Amino acid sequence: MNPAYTAAGEVREEYSAELLRGMLEIPSPSCHEGELAAFLAGAMTNLGFTAGVDSAGNVVGDIDRGEGPFIMLLSHLDTVPGQIPVRLAAGRLYGRGASDAKGPLAAMICAAASAAQFTGRIRVVGVVEEEVPSAKGAVAIRESMPPPDACVIGEPSGWSTVVLGYKGKLDLRYTVRCSAGHPTSPAPKATELVADCWAAVQDLTGPVSHTAFDLPGITLESFSGDTTYAEAKIGIRTPPGFDADALLAALRARLVWGTLTVTGSRAPCRVDRRNPAVRALTAGIRARSAQPALLVKTATSDMNTLAEVWDVPYASYGPGDSKLDHADDEHILLSDYFQAIAVLTYAIGELAGLPPGEVMHSGR
């Protein structure tokens, strides 16, 4: 018998905690996920998956349990830069990615391995470059694989909460180059023109908020340069119904100088709370004697990228507190992590009732 499993065929809590700790001890900033992908391919193989790393660098593990639906659980391998010493204190496991999103990914791996009642195929995917505009990993998955019958995205929602949608995002870079001249010259200065660009973004987007889902949010992510060359990076979080093309056209009309480049674009997405993925997760939460909460988020996830192409039932779920994402004290409560594994295991069993090979509309 595989020592990772209990007699009932579920992954032991001790193993699941060791798996997550091992993941946290491997740095995996965006574009440097190779070591973690290889580690997880080995860990999933040990748990009975057929696993490997694809050409994009994603780790992919399959469990085939006969005829039935095709379920995908997808989270990301990469983190923002900067390591946090991995340690366990008062039931909290600290480390970069504990919440965003190694905890959710580890929970998906353990749940898929534990879902012995599921008949069909379960695919767990850890994708690269979610934290950067490229979304390389999720783009490769949607282009190289058939759509599943349901898809759960692994992000920190809290173990008793399911996320129904995310704002989109436009990533802009504005660069200006001007002739050298004396500071008192009336000629345009690069720094001033970049400042004018930021003012135009503020004016054209109108009312903004980083807390309201139905309003855009804007951030001046970086600003550098001098009077001859300057550059700004601007992020615009876009709600459903936001006309990004109209904003870009109006902004370009204002910018007589310089070059405006779209470096990344993800459309907003929102799913119907009645879709099978949401229903399965909320049933799993109720089975743990909790009342499920439903939220929408003002950030983005790989759901945005996949939903541009795949019209399937989605939900986003995972242990962890999103307020700790990218924080210097990022951590996860192990008790919440274990609860999330149980919820996901239950939800996978619920999804066994989906018609195999008949992708159902997500109700976006």
Handedness of CA 219, 222, 226, 227 (dihedral sign): negative
Query: Catalytic site residue 130?
Result: yes
Q: How far is CA 147 from the centre of its chain?
A: 18
Asked whether the beta carbons of 201 and 299 are under 8 A apart, the reply is no
d(CA 38, CA 288): 33
Question: Which residue is catalytic, options 10, 33, 78, 171?
Answer: 78
Rounded to an integer, what is the distance from CA 96 to the centroid of its chain?
A: 15
Return d(Cα 158, Cα 258) in angstroms, integer.
Answer: 44
- Give the C-alpha separation, 231 to 91, whole Å: 44
Q: Which residues contact 304 (CB under 8 A, 6 or more apart)?
A: 135, 166, 168, 169, 266, 267, 268, 269
Cα–Cα dist 155/332, whole Å:
13
- Could you tell me if 237 and 269 are in contact, meaning their C-beta atoms sit under 8 angstroms apart? no
Of 5, 30, 29, the C-alpha closest to 16 is 5
From the candidates 10, 100, 130, 336, give the one annotated as an active-site residue: 130
Catalytic residues, by residue number, are 78, 130
